[in-house]
Amino acid sequence: MFEQSIILSAIRDAIDWVLGLVGQDISILPLPVQVVLCGLIAAGGLMGAIAFAVLIYVWMERRIAGRMQARRGPNRVGPYGLLQTVADTFKLLRKEDIIPTGANRILFAFAPMLVLAGVVAAFAAIPISWDADKGEPIMIADIDLGIFLITAIVATEVIGVIMAGWASNNKWSLYGAMREAAQVVSYEIPLGLSLLVPVLIVGDLSLGAATEDQLGGNWLIWRNPFMWAVFFIFYVAGLANCKRAPFDLPEAESELVAGFHTEYSGLRFSFFFMEEYASMTLISAIGAIYFFGAGDLFGLQGSSSLIMFGVLLFKILVSIFVMMWIRWTLPRLRIDQVMTLGYKVLTPIAFFLLLGVTVWDLYDLNDKLWELFSRS
Amino acid sequence: MTAAHIAFAAFALITVVSAFVVASHRSIVHSAFGLFFTFFGVAGLYLTLGADFVMAAQILIYVGGIMVLLLFGVMLTPSRRSDFVPARFLRALTLGAIVLVGLLWVLKNAHWATQELASPESTIDEIGRQLLTREQYLLPFEVVSVLLLAALIGAAYLARRRKIVD
Amino acid sequence: MDGIPIHFYLGVSALLFFLGLVTILARRNLVYILLGVELILNAASLNFVTFSRYGGNLDGQIVSIFVIILAAAEAAVALAIVLNIYNVFKNVDVDTPSELKN
C-alpha cells in the first residue's frame, strides 16, 4: 500500500545527495522524519507547480478573453503582457488581510486552506508520465485506490466552501456557498458514473494502470462507440464541479456580488482563485489520462518520459483552452436549469452509457463486429 | 516510537478532541464542523489499520455526502436560543461516564485473542471479491442497494414541496 | 499494527461512543441528536475495522462499509423528517412532536 514511487525515491536520493555534501547520508534521519520530509518536499513542489501554472492560466485566460471579445488583453508589462500576472500577484500579496467584524475568525481563516488542500492533495495520485525502463508510472503516490481516492478528497472542497460562506457572516456568501454545495453534490453523480466507464474498461482504479493500458495509440476513446458521449458527460459534469462558466452560479457576480468569497481579500482570496484553476487542471488531467491516452502520441513519443510529460501537458492545455473558450462564449445558466441538466439529462444518460459499455464489453462486440465486417 | 505510533496518536487526538467539540460546543454550526474533523480523524485511524478502501469510502460518503446533508439541516432549521444547558450537560456527562467506565472495564479485563493480518496489502480486490461472492456478502449487498433506493425515494417524498392548503 | 495494542483503538472507539452518548443525552435539538448518532456509528465501525485488522480477516471491514452506507440512508431520511417537523412547528425540539398525540 505504501510502496515508494519514483518521485518519492528521487526526492529521497536528492536529500541523500545534499546530506552527502556535509559528509553524512540519509540514514542519520529516523524513518518517520524521512517519510515526513519527503512528503513535505513533494507537497511543496506540487503547490509551487500549481501556483506557477495559475500564473500562466490567468495570462492565458485574459489574452483569450481579449481575443474572443474583441478587446485588449494584458500587453504592457513584459513581452505579450506575460509579466502582468506576476505584477498582479505582488499586488494581491501586499493587500491588507481583512477579516470582517462578526465573522468567525477561526473558520474564516481555515476555509481557504481546506478548499485548496483538497484539490492539491488529489494531484498526488495523478501520474505525470511513464517510465519505460522501470515499467511504472511517474507519480507521487501510486495508490491502488487511484480515482476513488481522488473523488473522495475532492469532495472535501464543498465543506470548505460552506465553511467560508458561513464564517463570512454575509448573506451573499452563504447563498453562494449553498448553491455551490447543491451544484457540486448533484454533479458528482454524473461525474462518478462517467468515470466508472474507463475504470471498467481498464479494470483498475489506479490512473497509472490507465496510462499503461493506452500506450501505443490504444486510447480509451477509440475502444467503443459510447466513449465520446461518456467523455462529453464527464467534461460537462467536470465543468460544473469546478464552478466554471456556464456553471459559475456560486460566484455569479451580477446576483451575489462574488459568491462565497465576497469577504475575502489578499492571500486568502488568491487561495480560492488558485483552487478554481487547480481543479480545472485536475479535471483536464483526468480527462486526458482516462480518455485520450495520457502522455501517449500513438507511440511516436518513443520511450522518453520527458516527451510523454510534454504531450500530457499539451493535452491538458488544450482542454483548459476549451474551458476558457466555453466561459467566454456561453452565458450563465439559471439554478433550475443547472439542476435539471444534472438530474434529468446527464445522470440518466450516464446510466445508460454505463450499461451500454458493460454489455459491449461483456459480449466482446468489438471482435464480433470486426469478424462480421471482414467476412462480408 | 515508530511512524505508526505517531500517526495513531495524531489521528486519535484529532478524533477525540473534535468529538468533544461536537458534544460540548454552544453553537450547532461549530458542532457540525467539529464532526467534519472527527470523520477525518476516524478515516486516518482506518488508514493506520490498513483499511484503505474503508478510509476512502468514509471520506467520500461521510464528508462529501452526510456532512453536506447535515450542514444543510443545520442551516435550514435555525433556532434562536442555544441548546446548551450546563446542568443537563453535566447530567449527561455523568451518565455517559458510567457507561464509559463499564466499557473500559470490559476493555481491560476481556481476553482479546489477536492475530494480525499478514501484511498491509491493498484490500480492494479482496473486498470486491467478497461483496460479489454468493456464499459471502452478495445478498446483503443487493439488499442494501434496494434499501438505499427505498430511502432515497422516501426522503424525496418527505422533503417535497407541498401545495399550500388552507 | 506495528506494535500498537488493540486496546488503544478500542479505547478511542469507547471515547467516541461516550461523546456520542453525551451529545444525544444533553441536547434537545433533533439535528444535534443526529450528530450524536453519527458519532456512535463511527465508533461502531471503528471497532469493526479494528477487529478485522486484529482478527485476521476482512469481514469487519465489509460490515463497516455497510454501516457507512446505512448511515447515508439514515441521515437522508432523518433530515427529511426533521425538515418536515421544522416546517410544521418552527422548531426542532425532540419534545414538540408529542403535540401530535391524540
DSSP string covering B101-127, please?
HHHHHHHHHS-------SS----HHHH
State pLDDT tens for residues A82-127: 788 888 888 888 877 777 777 777 888 888 888 888 888 888 888 8
Report the distance separating Cα A63 and Cα A61, nearest Å: 6
Indicate whether B36 pLDDT > 80.
Answer: yes
Question: Among A353, A183, A187, A350, which residue's Cα sits nearest to residue A252?
Answer: A183
Report the distance separating Cα C35 and Cα C82, nearest Å: 13
| C32 at B interface, C-beta within 8 A | yes
Domain assignment present for residue C1? The answer is no
Site from A144, A206, A336 to mutate, B interface, most B CB atoms within 10 angstroms: A144
CB contact under 8 A, B124 and A2: no
- CATH code, C57: 1.10.287.3510
Looking at residue A295, what DSSP letter applies?
Answer: T
Give CA B147 to chain center in angstroms.
19
Report the distance separating Cα A20 and Cα A35, nearest Å: 18
> Under DSSP, is residue A303 helix (H, G, I), strand (E, B) or coil?
coil
Domain assignment present for residue C102? The answer is no
Residue of B nearest to A186 (CA): B65
Question: Among C31, B34, B62, which residue's Cα sits nearest to residue A106?
Answer: B34
From residue A288, how far is each of A2, A126, B69, B124 by CA, in Å?
26, 11, 32, 25
* pLDDT (average), residues B85-100: 88
Domain assignment present for residue C96? The answer is no
User: Residue C41: which residues within 8 A CB-CB, separation 6 or more?
Assistant: C67, C71
CB B71 within 8 A of CB C80: no
Q: How many Å is the Cα radius of gyration of chain B? A: 21
> Under DSSP, is residue A224 helix (H, G, I), strand (E, B) or coil?
coil
Residue of B nearest to C34 (CA): B70
Question: Among A186, A192, A184, which residue's Cα sits nearest to residue A161?
Answer: A184
Report the distance separating Cα B58 and Cα A226, nearest Å: 32
Report the distance separating Cα A315 and Cα A235, nearest Å: 14
Q: Do chains C and B touch (3 or more CB pairs under 8 A)?
A: yes
State pLDDT tens for residues A297-356: 777 767 777 888 888 888 899 999 998 888 888 888 888 888 888 888 999 999 999 999
Domain ranges of chain B: 1-63, 123-166
CB C25 within 8 A of CB B92: yes
- The type of residue at A69 is Q
Domain assignment present for residue C42? The answer is yes
Per DSSP, helices labelled H in chain A are 6-21, 31-68, 84-94, 105-122, 147-167, 171-202, 207-213, 227-241, 253-256, 266-291, 305-327, 335-340, 347-362, 365-375
- Determine whether B90 is exposed, middle or buried from the number of CB atoms within 10 Å of its CB (0-12, 13-18, 19+): exposed
* pLDDT (average), residues B73-96: 82
Residue C40's domain comprises 6-90
**What confidence score (pLDDT) does residue C1 get?**
46
Q: Which residues from chain A sit within 8 angstroms of residue B52, using beta carbons?
A: 1, 143-145
Q: Do chains A and C touch (3 or more CB pairs under 8 A)?
A: no
CB contact under 8 A, B52 and A143: yes
Looking at residue B59, what DSSP letter applies?
Answer: I
Question: What is the b/e burial string over B63-80, where b = at least 16 CB atoms within 10 angstroms of the residue's CB?
Answer: bbbbbbbbbbbbbebebe
CB A140 within 8 A of CB A49: no
Give the closest-approach CA distance of C100 to chain B in angstroms: 17
Low-confidence spans in chain A with pLDDT less than 70: 1-4, 252-254, 301
pLDDT band at residue B120 under the 50/70/90 scheme: low
CB contact under 8 A, C32 and B12: no
| B18 at C interface, C-beta within 8 A | no
Considering chain B, what percentage of its residues have pLDDT values greater than 70? Answer: 90
CB A137 within 8 A of CB A212: yes
* pLDDT (average), residues B5-19: 89
Q: Which residues from chain B sit within 8 angstroms of residue C84, using beta carbons?
A: 158-159
| A357 at B interface, C-beta within 8 A | no
Cell 464552478, located at residue? A243
Bridge partners for A129 per DSSP: A138
Looking at residue B78, what DSSP letter applies?
Answer: -
Domain assignment present for residue C73? The answer is yes
Cell 447563498, located at residue? A175
Site from A154, A156, A241 to mutate, B interface, most B CB atoms within 10 angstroms: A156
Q: Which residues from chain B sit within 8 angstroms of residue A107, using beta carbons?
A: 33
Q: Return the ∠ at Cα A103 (arms to A102 and A107), rounded to 5°.
A: 150
Domain assignment present for residue C98? The answer is no
C-beta atoms surrounding C13 within 10 Å? 25
| B14 at C interface, C-beta within 8 A | no
Report the distance separating Cα A305 and Cα A294, nearest Å: 12
Bridge partners for A138 per DSSP: A129
Indicate whether B139 pLDDT > 50.
Answer: yes
Report the distance separating Cα A250 and Cα A172, nearest Å: 10
Tell me the count of B-C CB pairs closer than 8 A: 238
Give the one of A145, A156, A163 whose C-beta lies nearest to B33's C-beta: A163
Q: What are φ and ψ of residue A74, in 5° steps?
A: -65, 125
Based on DSSP, count helices (H) and strands (E) in chain A, helices before strands. 14, 2
**What confidence score (pLDDT) does residue B118 get?**
57
Task: For domain B1-63, give the fold.
Answer: Four Helix Bundle (Hemerythrin (Met), subunit A) (1.20.120)
User: Residue B60: which residues within 8 A CB-CB, separation 6 or more?
Assistant: A148, A151, A152, A155
Domain count, chain C: 1
Q: How many Å is the Cα radius of gyration of chain A? A: 22
Cell numbers describing residue A113: 486552506
User: Residue B100: which residues within 8 A CB-CB, separation 6 or more?
Assistant: C14, C15, C17, C18
**What confidence score (pLDDT) does residue A136 get?**
78
Cell numbers describing residue A270: 488568491
> Under DSSP, is residue A7 helix (H, G, I), strand (E, B) or coil?
helix
CB contact under 8 A, A155 and B64: yes
Report the distance separating Cα A32 and Cα A193, nearest Å: 38
DSSP secondary structure letters along A213-274: HTTTT--GGGTSTTHHHHHHHHHHHHHHHTT-TTS-GGG-HHHHTTGGGTT--HHHHHHHHH
| Neighbors of chain B by Cβ distance (3+ pairs < 8 Å) | A, C
Element containing residue A95 per DSSP (H, E):
none
pLDDT band at residue C16 under the 50/70/90 scheme: very high
State pLDDT tens for residues C66-99: 999 999 898 888 888 888 888 888 778 888 777 7
